[in-house]
Amino acid sequence: MGTGLSKDADGSSHGNEGEENPDHAGGQLYVSLKMENYRLKAELIPHVYGSVPLVGSWDSSKALSMEPESASMWELSFVVPSNHETLDFKFLLKPKYSNSPCVVEEGPNRLLTRGTLQGESRLAVFKNGDVTVEFRVFIKADRVSPFDLAASWRVYQENLQPSTVRGIPDVSINSVPMAGIENGSPASLELDLEHYVVPAPSTSANSAFVYAANNTENPRFSNVDCPGNASYSFKDSGVSADQPTTIKEMEVVIPDPSKVYSGSGMVESKSVGTFSSLQKQDGHRGLFVDRGVGSPRVVKSSSSSAFSCDLKLDTETKNSMPAAAGAVAAGAVADQMLGPKEDRHLAIVLVGLPARGKTFTAAKLTRYLRWLGHDTKHFNVGKYRRLKHGANQSADFFRADNPEGMEARNEVAALAMDDMIAWMQEGGQVGIFDATNSTRKRRNMLMKMAEGKCKLQIIFLETLCNDEHIIERNIRLKIQQSPDYAEQPDFEAGLQDFKSRLSNYEKVYEPVEEGSYIKMIDMVSGHGGQIQVNNISGYLPGRIVFFLVNTHLTPRPILLTRHGESRDNVRGRIGGDTVLSDAGEIYAKKLANFVEKRLKSEKAASIWTSTLQRTIITASPIIGFPKIQWRALDEINAGVCDGMTYEEIKKNMPEEYEARRKDKLRYRYPRGESYLDVIQRLEPVIIELERQRAPVVVISHQAVLRALYAYFADRPLKEIPHIEVPLHTIIEIQMGVTGVQEKRYKLMD
């Protein structure tokens, strides 16, 4: 991912400069052309045309449109062989709404050779009568290997075909309709899907909403007694509120998917180049064009600890496909992006006004880090306040000019911070400190408390929202669900009280400008936004940024199900790649019927399977949705035990059988995998599921679905090998602003 050579417009390079043969193994160049003009009217659209057919063969009517990245920046990205022939081209401007003549840039043709733009021209000049328009021109080229492209190849023709760059694709796409089932088939379902609902396990994801703060850590103090050293003063904190901040190293602009275009979202950092890993097929002669669909890439500069991201959102609902980060890159992402793990503890301190999604973001981040195996706890100061001072505090309690209220709120914040630090000193790794922390004084207090404590690094995570509709929705949810208003019978009275509380915070709110921080700006809506990152370095901080760039709150269901019963299931043999039994074939038809009814209005939904035939066959009766095969969704590799029964393993390999029985989570089959290995390779799948805005049906295998389900249900790692995922049952995970809920449908015994 992003390996090899990267060149700027001036020809300078960074990366693997010592490569002896840059063209070895058919290396490709990912090229990004950009034009910038702050005064261009929207009626004129920049295009590229030139010597190759894809960009018109010098026919302006066939010129390739550039895509708007922002109000002032236009971008076109494509992939060419590293030893490609010289590309001859020019920029031109086309009227958007009229048949007026195109305006071609002045000067000689531009020449692109091996990812380098020949000549010194950094401006594109257009003359239309007496009017002269100038654009700044940028180019960025990054060498990618066929290995990279195999994981991220994008297919954009009407008949979507699997990528065969490496022979066996990591992600294959096939939307060719399969033979449907007859309406009168005995495998059809009753119209009312509720008939098939079965109770979820008691330890499952919430079947009904539970206020997120209630699931956070309990205070160590009792309701009556409180440690005498829990009071902290803001005076002489030792941390200056006015200290100069470092330069922002990254800003990621996330386009609004509701717009008519697909903005590329690519932002260039001064210290680090930006890359896109995904290309869509849109032509021939080995030239591929990215039309604004991709997944984030985070890379680490050899000379800087800053990160740069590229986030692109797919807005084409007809054939919406996951922009797969690639199972083949799962193990390499962290090392390439972040380097080795550090021996230190991390505190993520939330900052933001009430009703901005802080607690939801904290809960989601906690769940992700726990699933990856990092010891993480969520400390909610509001929970401490309710236990210490009661839940029925009016808006006056939160006034900045109320000394008693200020003292009480600072006290519980200090208690929560004390508990988090004490837990870290006992071995905890990541603490998420959830509160408004809306002033520099409060944040300085927390930093002062953390000084010299267990190698503790603090990163502020600020959530900002400017959408009044989103804020109003969150406020109303707060009144309905927060324990603060559980005893308030009058909804409107509670609403006015909360708005008064919010006004009290707004009067003294100070945005984060100090220390290390991540700002999430208008991200909670799920309709684009910005992420700003300052002074972030290290393994876990980078992982957190990567996750936050990809996550959103758009409600959508994710359906998890095992393949229909296979012949090896009947025989009790593990692994293998056999076809379905008779019962499995019936389930496949019932599943198709279920998906048709459940997702009949969800035209952008997709079906994900493994590359093993029992999942592909199970999905085959489903029509009307694109189908995507992931090697990452393949069953756990049983190694030398593949095809054996557990009785045969016990008889012939008793030591292996006993080792597995003692620790199923960490046990690795000889020449095979462990559950921890499965979790590692599933991370790109989790990221893609978080990115999806449309429903996804995942048809996979028992061990894989145990790991996926554990992520959504926030189950401990040690429980994963024992999670119940029965055959012929659908687990529906509903994701949205209120958290994660679960529903189960048993289609047949």
Residues catalogued as catalytic: 434, 465, 563, 635
Torsion of the alpha carbons at 440, 444, 445 and 447, rounded to the nearest 10: 140
Pairing outcome for strands 696-700 and 627-630:
unpaired
DSSP bridge partners of 742: 733
| Contact between 709 and 657 (Cβ < 8 Å) | no
Q: How far apart are alpha carbons 409 and 128 in whole angstroms?
A: 64
Environment class of 180 (CB within 10 Å of its CB; exposed 0-12, middle 13-18, buried 19+): middle
Nearest Cα to Cα of residue 451 among 236, 227, 217: 236
Q: How far apart are alpha carbons 617 and 442 in whole angstroms?
A: 58
3-state secondary structure 597-617: HHCCCCCCCEEEECCCHHHHH
Tell me, rounded to whole angstroms, the distance of Cα 105 from its chain centroid. 39
| Contact between 29 and 139 (Cβ < 8 Å) | no
| Contact between 349 and 443 (Cβ < 8 Å) | yes
The amino acid that residue 634 corresponds to is D
Q: How far apart are alpha carbons 338 and 347 in whole angstroms?
A: 18
Q: How far apart are alpha carbons 430 and 432 in whole angstroms?
A: 7
> Up-side HSE of residue 410: CA atoms within 13 Å toward CB?
22
Nearest Cα to Cα of residue 588 among 557, 609, 573, 574: 609
| Contact between 490 and 547 (Cβ < 8 Å) | no
DSSP bridge partners of 733: 558, 742
- Locate 294 and state its tokens: 């991709």
What are the φ and ψ backbone dihedral angles of 34, each rounded to 5 degrees?
Answer: -135, 145
CB proximity list for 632: less than 8 A, separation 6 or greater: 170, 327, 330, 681, 682, 684, 685
Residue 259, SS3 per DSSP: coil
Q: How far apart are alpha carbons 230 and 653 in whole angstroms?
A: 57
DSSP conformation class of 411: H
The single residue listed with the structure tokens 């019932």 is 590
Q: Is 328 left (phi over 0), alpha (psi -120 to 50) or beta?
A: alpha
**Burial track 37-76 (b if 16+ CB lie within 10 A, e otherwise):** beebeeebbbbbbbbbebbbeeeeeebbebbbbeeebbbb
Environment class of 215 (CB within 10 Å of its CB; exposed 0-12, middle 13-18, buried 19+): middle
C-alpha angle 548/675/542, rounded to 5°? 25
| Contact between 347 and 413 (Cβ < 8 Å) | no
The single residue listed with the structure tokens 């267990």 is 454
Torsion of the alpha carbons at 314, 315, 320 and 325, rounded to the nearest 10: 10
Q: Is 455 left (phi over 0), alpha (psi -120 to 50) or beta?
A: left
What are the φ and ψ backbone dihedral angles of 686, each rounded to 5 degrees?
Answer: -60, -45
Residues 360, 483, 733, 373, CA torsion sign: positive
Q: How far apart are alpha carbons 474 and 472 in whole angstroms?
A: 5
